[in-house]
Structure 1
Amino acid sequence: MLDRFFPALLALALGLASAPAMAQGTEVSFGGLKADTGLPVEVTAESLSVNQADGTAIFAGEVLVKQGEMRLQAGEVKVEYDATGKAIDRLHATGGVLMVNATDAAEAAEAVYTIASGEVVMMGGVLMTQGATAIKGDTLHINLKTGTGRMEGGVTTTFMPGGN
């Protein structure tokens, strides 16, 4: 498993030697968070409020969003529809957001998932775990289609040498 993360960890270790590189962010592989963004999105919650005027729906209370193997949990998720009002454009999750898929997990204060592009931006005290490896930062950008991402703002990491 470490061999999957080795290139990212090597880049991170080399980046530690240069403060400007760290200030710009760290590119990392999020293969475990790769997802099929064309699959149906299922949302469960304790309540739902719909606003026809602005084309939004708000799920509240133990919200769980499923898309294939990807799971996103939050206290509240605002669903925004596209201009036609027929397709979901993006999800804005707040209140202790947790996103998991396969071996990777990420948590933050809030997240915005743009469905068509497969882009997820997690903000506020982000913690990404990949097995024994943990990466912290202010903002995490993930492309679910490619399984790639970028952590920015005060990036720190902890990992176990030798795959232990």
Structure 2
Amino acid sequence: MAATAQQTAFGATSVDPDTPVEVESDELRVNQADGTAEFVGNVVIVQGVMRLGAPRVLVVYDEAGEKVRRMEATGGVTLVSGPDAAEAQRADYDIEAGKVRLQGDVLLVQGESTLASQDLTIDLTTGSAQMSGRVRTLLNPKN
């Protein structure tokens, strides 16, 4: 069964975008000129109940260099929130909007259900998500 877009939920609870973000990595490169910080190697980001892992994450700060505006994770990304997990080639996290967009070979696992597409956008404040780009899923009538 295939569709072009599908609404779904993601995560056990919503994530407050104002919750502190903890980042671990093998290496950190800071660029004062463009207001970015690049975390490289085994990057793990935790915010509340959400955890993101990737080989590389670029953090972009506001003009004053005081507040994180967005994060770009690349090189194969895993995003976990509660019982749900998603994998993709990249993830863009807009902190202010409280939205994460995963792109490229997206695989979403929720319990025994799996969904695949090319694009998944998650609203972290509501826990809702939308998949698009040739969505594929297997519906099990027993569950």
- TM-score of the two chains, using structure 2 as the length reference: 0.94
* Contact 1:33/1:105 (<8 A) preserved: no
In the TM superposition, 1:2-21 aligns within 5 A as none
In the TM superposition, 1:39-118 aligns within 5 A as 39-118=19-98
What is the rounded CA distance, in whole Å, between the counterparts of 1:136 and 1:162 in structure 2?
20
Equivalent residue for 1:150? 130
Tell me how far 1:31 sits from its aligned partner: 4.2
Aligned residues: 143
Read off the aligned partner of 2:50 and give its amino acid letter: M
Read off the aligned partner of 1:72 and give its amino acid letter: L
Flag structure 1 segments of 5+ consecutive residues without an equivalent: 1-12, 17-21
Find the structure with the greater CA-based Rg. Answer: 1
What is the rounded CA distance, in whole Å, between the counterparts of 1:81 and 1:145 in structure 2?
21
What is the rounded CA distance, in whole Å, between the counterparts of 2:30 and 2:85 in structure 1?
30
- TM-score of the two chains, using structure 1 as the length reference: 0.83
Match of 1:92, SS state, is: strand
Flag structure 2 segments of 5+ consecutive residues without an equivalent: none
* Contact 1:33/1:100 (<8 A) preserved: no
CA RMSD of aligned residues (A): 1.4
Residues 83-121 of structure 1: CA distance to partner in whole angstroms, max 9, x if unpaired? 221000000000110000111000000000011111000
More strand by share: 2
Judged with a 3 Å threshold, the aligned counterparts in structure 2 of structure 1 residues 76 and 54 are, in CA distance, closer, same or farther, namely: same
What is the rounded CA distance, in whole Å, between the counterparts of 1:147 and 1:31 in structure 2?
6
Read off the aligned partner of 1:53 and give its amino acid letter: A
Match of 2:142, SS state, is: helix
Read off the aligned partner of 1:63 and give its amino acid letter: V
In the TM superposition, 1:111-150 aligns within 5 A as 111-150=91-130
